[in-house]
Amino acid sequence: MKRLNDLLERIIQRVNINLREPLFDVGPYVRDLVPLNQLTKFYAFYGITPYHPLNFHFTRSNLAGSYFLGKCQVSDSILYKSDIRGDELKRKGDIFQCEGFDIPLHEDETIRIKDSYLIKTLVHNNSHDPENLEDFIIQNTVSTHYANIHGSEVEGCYMGPFSTVDLTTLHDCVIGEFAYLQVSELAHHQVPAGTIWISGGDQFEFRYQHDPENLKNYIRFEPGTRPQGIFIDFVENRKDDFRRVFDVVNLETPSSIPSGASLNRYAVIKPKTQIGQNVLVAQRAYIENSWMGNGANAQENCYIIDSRLSGNNVTAHGAKIIGAELGEKVFVGFNSFLQGSKEFALRIGENSIIMPHTIIDLTEPVDIDASYLVWGYIRKQSDVEENSMALSELASITGQHSRSRMHFKGNGDSFVKGFQHRIEHILEANGAYFDGTGKKGHAQSSQNISYNLIQPYPEGDFKGLYPTIDIQH
């Protein structure tokens, strides 16, 4: 185990040298966060299909529990149950369009993770950095429980639990718990816990700041402890359900699934769940007693419980939906926590957008109208007004607009259109619009994956480290 311990210290040093400005020591946060023994208990796996170009290279790393699909290289890193995929990597010859430039890729894009420690962090690779199209890089970075690195290159960063960096190139930044960033590029910043910050260049900016004291009930993380709060309890309570799906090599697919739908064999599907046409349930998603209407998708680490999703719903990475009824095409953003119940039902009308990192935790029944944007923190019906706005009203804004802890400036129409466009992209990419032959997406091309299971050395100095593994077509 000596080598694994050395590796952890080397990673801490690499991150800290990046974080001289803002001055931040990641050591106390991560040194005892996961017992090293734990890192030897889980297997990692990679998927093989005819649709995803293949090139895995793993060296001097621990990969416990992580999932790889498509081209990926990992060196000198610890990936603890990190949900890496690689199914939206760009390919040689693809044209990337950016501000009038048409940039052709001269080789297949590859995920490259180096000198990093990612703990239960989702890495999704639909990257948008026009400066570095072939390499999707995560380097000298520590990220903690249930953070999302989403289409974002990240170098020299610390990411707190349940934080998200989305379509943003990040250098030498500290991202607080449950902060959400979508700002294209950011360097040498310390982002407070609970900040929601979206910037569309000179087009618009959206900001929300969760109340720090209240947020601590949901998620808090002090150096030398483990992350705590309602979010952590929620996830920990459902851990055992995942054990079975990881214990078995090849699970039988339930036969009653419509042909265009796909339930990842590493997802938990509990009774009584209904799966519609073209539904996509990603790995480590958890569905219980819910109705998944046609084209609905459940992304990695999301939970859908006692709920009805009418169809074409996007439930983004890490979102939780409990006791809710969602109309058609309701979008629920990253790591949002929507908790209704039988007694206090949550109803959200069609085409509404729940912003990433929204908390709706009901103490009475709440109805939200169709075509609304929803953010912030909602416990009762009277909170809705302060934390939402009709999309049509938002689209009409030019200039500045504040509502309680939310501040918007710029062109509302461009913000709304951009968001709706992105939702359409997700539905298309996930195969929600598959018509039996055309418009295939992940739901259809992920139906038949060969999973390969890899494990570290079981004993000795190298215990917990994986051998060097190279997989090519």
Q: How far is the CB of 432 from its own copies (least distance, A)?
A: 22
Q: How far is the CB of 434 from its own copies (least distance, A)?
A: 17
Q: In this complex, which beta carbon is closest to its own copies, that of residue 96 or of residue 451?
A: 451
Q: How far is the CB of 239 from its own copies (least distance, A)?
A: 17
Six-digit token string for 212: 């720090």
Please provide residue 47's backbone torsions phi and psi, each rounded to the nearest 5 degrees.
-105, 145
Q: Which residues pair with 158 in a beta bridge?
A: 142, 174
Q: In this complex, which beta carbon is closest to its own copies, that of residue 433 or of residue 457?
A: 457
For its own copies, the binding residues (CB under 8 A) are 43, 48-50, 54, 246-250, 448-463, 467-473
Whether 422 contacts 356, CB under 8 Å: no
Q: How far is the CB of 466 from its own copies (least distance, A)?
A: 8
Q: In this complex, which beta carbon is closest to its own copies, that of residue 36 or of residue 469?
A: 469
Cis omega (within 30 of 0) for bond into 22: yes
Q: In this complex, which beta carbon is closest to its own copies, that of residue 42 or of residue 234?
A: 42
Six-digit token string for 93: 């010859």
Q: How far is the CB of 471 from its own copies (least distance, A)?
A: 5
Q: How far is the CB of 431 from its own copies (least distance, A)?
A: 16
Q: How far is the CB of 321 from its own copies (least distance, A)?
A: 30
Q: In this complex, which beta carbon is closest to its own copies, that of residue 47 or of residue 356?
A: 47
Q: In this complex, which beta carbon is closest to its own copies, that of residue 81 or of residue 463?
A: 463
Task: Using the CB atoms, write b or e for 405-440: b if 16+ within 10 Å.
Answer: bbebbbbbbebbeebbeebeebbebbbbbbeeeeeb
| Pairwise CA distance, residues 146 & 119, whole Å | 7
Tell me which H or E stretch contains 205.
Answer: strand 204-209
Q: How far is the CB of 254 from its own copies (least distance, A)?
A: 17
Closest to 230 measured CA to CA, from 337, 139, 101, 323 = 337
Task: Using the CB atoms, write b or e for 218-247: b if 16+ within 10 Å.
Answer: bbbbeeeeebbbebbebbeebeeebeebbe
Whether 183 contacts 189, CB under 8 Å: no
Closest to 336 measured CA to CA, from 290, 306, 299, 293 = 299
Q: In this complex, which beta carbon is closest to its own copies, that of residue 218 or of residue 266?
A: 266
